[in-house]
């Protein structure tokens, strides 16, 4: 089932630190940006205000192999590694040219936004699963 999506972007100056390299926290933003682009390409929105469900993060990892700098062009490859009843796990690879600069994972749980008890995990709607996996 692994579905893969590629998202291209350029490193912005404000994403760098005083040493001129991308601050570590931006790698998580890049992965999330690619995830959202995957959802849009699938005809979905991860934050649809009309939807009764939401997808907060429950886990995130990143392993850094090389630095990024201002104006580097990067490609973020996001793969759906697994979808179970109540969560989605993504694998991400950030590349510059032929070089892998970071790998990571994001896991999001499906929650009921309308529940009186916040963050109640619920089954991912079938239409979302279908659109993300076809």
Q: Which residue has the tokens 């404000």?
A: 14
Whole-angstrom distance, CA of residue 53 vs CA of residue 49: 9
Query: Average of pLDDT values for 17-28?
Result: 95
Higher pLDDT, 9 or 120: 9
Give per-residue pLDDT as tens, 34-61: 999 999 999 999 999 999 999 999 999 9
Query: pTM here?
Result: 0.92
| Confidence at residue 119, expressed as pLDDT on a 0 to 100 scale | 82
- The pLDDT score that the predictor gives to residue 1 is 46
Is residue 122 exposed (0-12), middle (13-18) or buried (19+ Cβ within 10 Å)?
middle
Q: Give pLDDT tens digits for 117-133.
A: 878 899 999 999 999 99
User: Among candidates 29, 134, 22, which has minimal Cα distance to 92?
Assistant: 29
- Cα 80 to the center of its chain, rounded Å: 10
Q: What total of structural domains would you count in the chain?
A: 1
Residue 2 has pLDDT above 80, yes or no: no
Q: What is the DSSP letter of 121?
A: B
Provide the pLDDT for residue 118. Answer: 74
Say if CB 100 and CB 64 are below 8 A apart.
no
What number of CA atoms fall less than 13 Å from residue 92's CA on the CB side? 32
Query: CATH number of the domain that 111 lies in?
Result: 3.10.129.10
Q: What is the pLDDT of residue 52?
A: 94
Which residue segment(s) compose the domain that 79 sits in?
A: 3-133
């Amino acid at each position: 089932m692994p579905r893969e999506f590629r998202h291209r972007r350029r490193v912005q100056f404000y994403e760098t630190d005083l040493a001129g390299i991308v601050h570590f926290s931006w790698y998580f933003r890049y992965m999330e940006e690619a995830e959202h682009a995957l959802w849009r390409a699938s005809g979905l929105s991860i934050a649809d205000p009309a939807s009764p469900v939401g997808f907060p993060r429950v886990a995130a990892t990143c392993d850094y192999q090389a630095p990024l700098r201002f104006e580097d062009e990067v490609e973020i490859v996001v793969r759906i590694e697994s979808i179970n009843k109540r969560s989605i796990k993504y694998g991400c690879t950030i590349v510059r040219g032929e070089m892998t600069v970071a790998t990571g994972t994001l896991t999001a749980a499906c929650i009921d936004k309308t529940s009186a008890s916040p963050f109640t995990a619920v089954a991912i709607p079938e239409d979302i699963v279908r659109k993300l996996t076809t």
